[in-house]
Structure 1
Amino acid sequence: MAGDFMDNRGRGEARSAIPSIHPEGRKYALICFGLSLIAAVLAWETIAWPLAFLSLCILAFFRDPERVVPRGDNLLVSPADGTVTQIAEVEPPLELRGEDGGLGRAPVTRISIYLSVFDVHINRSPCAGTIVAMNYMPGKFVNAELDKASDENERQHLLIMRGDGVVVGMTQIAGLVSRRIVPFVKPGDIVAAGQRIGLIRFGSRVDLYLPAGTSPQVLMGQRVIAGETVLGRLGETVTLEGVQQ
């Protein structure tokens, strides 16, 4: 059950359960399944079966599993499920710089997470804090794995201010297939670390901008889980190395 306390000393109770389906996906699955039933009644089996299968795929895409969020004032958790495809020092986007309370112009570390159509597409807050800004930008729908997607694709920028005044930026980016970013929060909302804050429909990318003095705790090519995988620890600049095998 959501809200149960877990720790690394065996306290808490792990449960296995079928993930719930987010309401955004239920209506599409019902429409698709309804069309498959109509096709079946009309004996159009070549259409009915593919539509029934498609409805199951839609349910799988919009699944919304519970997550166990690690607790720690200095932790930044992954905002998305997927694969780390880029770790780079970049200037923050103009929309995240802000004149007051933004990331500024100095280069920061950006971690880019690519979400395939098989990943969970519910995005979560990387830390606890207040949503101080949200900027939606219309744009193109090029492959979200490309670097230029951060500047050219349809995207939504968010700034989250922690209780200590540290600001964390993230960007939801629509991909080649996706066509809509759905926010669950608005400016002024107070969010918890790992809280659901939005979703992106079908294949996309999420960028997380680490505050100054914070280095990534993940590696290129690593799989991460929204709300669970620690991407950074504020104030720590330890270099990580790994071997792909």
Structure 2
Amino acid sequence: MQESSVLSTLAVPIHPEGWRFIPLFAAGSLLLFWLWTPLGWLGVLLTLWCAYFFRNPSRVTPTREGLVISPADGVVQMIVPAPPPLELAMGDAPMTRVSIFMNVFNVHVNRAPIGGRVVKRVYSPGKFFNAALDKASVFNERMAVHLGLADGRDIAFVQIAGLVARRIRCDLVEGQEIRTGERFGLIRFGSRLDVYLPDGVAPLVVVGQTAIAGETVLADLVGTEPERQGETR
């Protein structure tokens, strides 16, 4: 069973962005072998980790209308009221912000939280504070996206760079129609995704819960279930 699990992991496709780095890590390993064999084996481990970091697995996305799906793998770090990013010009009224923190071992391919039309996308240069900090939403380098939904409501999601993650990739363009769970970019290496829910929509995840990109339901735009509570067991 363990061998099968390892083989399944190795068979996962690699995101195209990864092929910019994996050969560099491999070349570095060869150099380390030339310098000192134990260092070479360390390089091999780092090369394998690099390939693992850029894995790009398929996901089974719930397709029922109104479901907001996690855009990232990671831990739900905070759920707080906060105004959407100023650069999106969506007003200053607080929206429920669900923040998902990705560590260096999570899948880093990001997915659209819901289907809609890209109204606006804005890149903002900034600092590289620890993405676990609340101030990272305001001060860190980020890519913010305003998505218009078919029912007239709006949602926002933001890729936020962190202490280690220094590069954001977003393949969306303004005016583009996207589907729920569709891949749209990634952040390397580590960081955070914020999702701003429409007014009156209760989150269906709790702080500390592990979310899976393209699969975990964050909220239901047409549901009436109240905000969920959770506890460690």
State the TM-score, normalizing by the size of structure 2: 0.92
Counterparts of 2:167 and 2:41, CA distance in 1: 27
User: Do structure 1's residue 173 and structure 2's residue 166 form an aligned pair?
Assistant: no
Aligned equivalent of 2:230: 242
Is 1:46 the counterpart of 2:46? The answer is no
Q: In structure 1, what residue type is equivalent to 2:178?
A: V
2:120 to 126, 133, 136: 133
What is the root-mean-square deviation of aligned Cα atoms in Å? 1.4
Structure 1 contact 213–237 (Cα < 8 Å) conserved? no
Find the counterpart in structure 1 of residue 16 from structure 2: 23
Partner of 2:82: 90
Distance 2:227 2:147 in 1: 25
Contact kept, 8 Å, 1:76 with 1:233, in 2: the verdict is: yes
Q: Deviation per CA, 1:115-172: give whole Å up to 9, x if none.
A: 0001011110011111111110111111100000000111110011122222110010
Q: Which residue of 1 aligns with 2:172?
A: 185
Q: For residues 170 and 227 of structure 1, what CA distance do their matches in structure 2 show?
A: 14
Question: Could you report, residue by residue, the CA deviation over 1:177-217 in whole angstroms, capped at 9, with x for unpaired residues?
Answer: 01100112211211110000110001100000000120100
Which SS does the other structure have where 2:65 is aligned? Answer: coil
Matches within 5 A, 1:59-138: 59-96=51-88, 98=89, 102=90, 104-138=91-125
Equivalent in the alignment of 1:35? 28
4+ aligned runs moved over 6 Å, structure 1: none
Report Cα offsets for 1:57-85 as digits up to 9, x if no partner: 10111111100000111100001110001
Amino acid at match of 1:203: G
TM-score by length of 1: 0.87
Structure 2 unaligned regions, length at least 5: 1-7
Secondary structure of 2:100's aligned partner: strand
User: What SS is found at the alignment partner of 1:208?
Assistant: strand
d(CA) in 1 for partners of 2:206 and 2:35? Answer: 52
- Return the match for 1:209 from 196, 206, 216: 196
Take 2:136 and 2:225, find their aligned partners in 1: how far apart are those partners?
27
Match of 2:212 among 220, 225, 232: 225
Task: Please state how far the C-alpha of 1:37 moved relative to its aligned partner.
Answer: 2.4
**Whole-angstrom CA distance in 2 between matches of 1:183 and 1:240:** 31
Structure with the higher helix share, 1 or 2: 2
User: Which sections of structure 1, spanning at least 5 residues, go unmatched?
Assistant: 1-15
SS in 2 for 1:63: coil
Answer whether contact 1:214 1:237 (CA < 8 A) is retained.
no
Aligned counterpart, 1:58? 50
Whether the 8 Å contact between 1:85 and 1:145 is mirrored in structure 2 is: yes
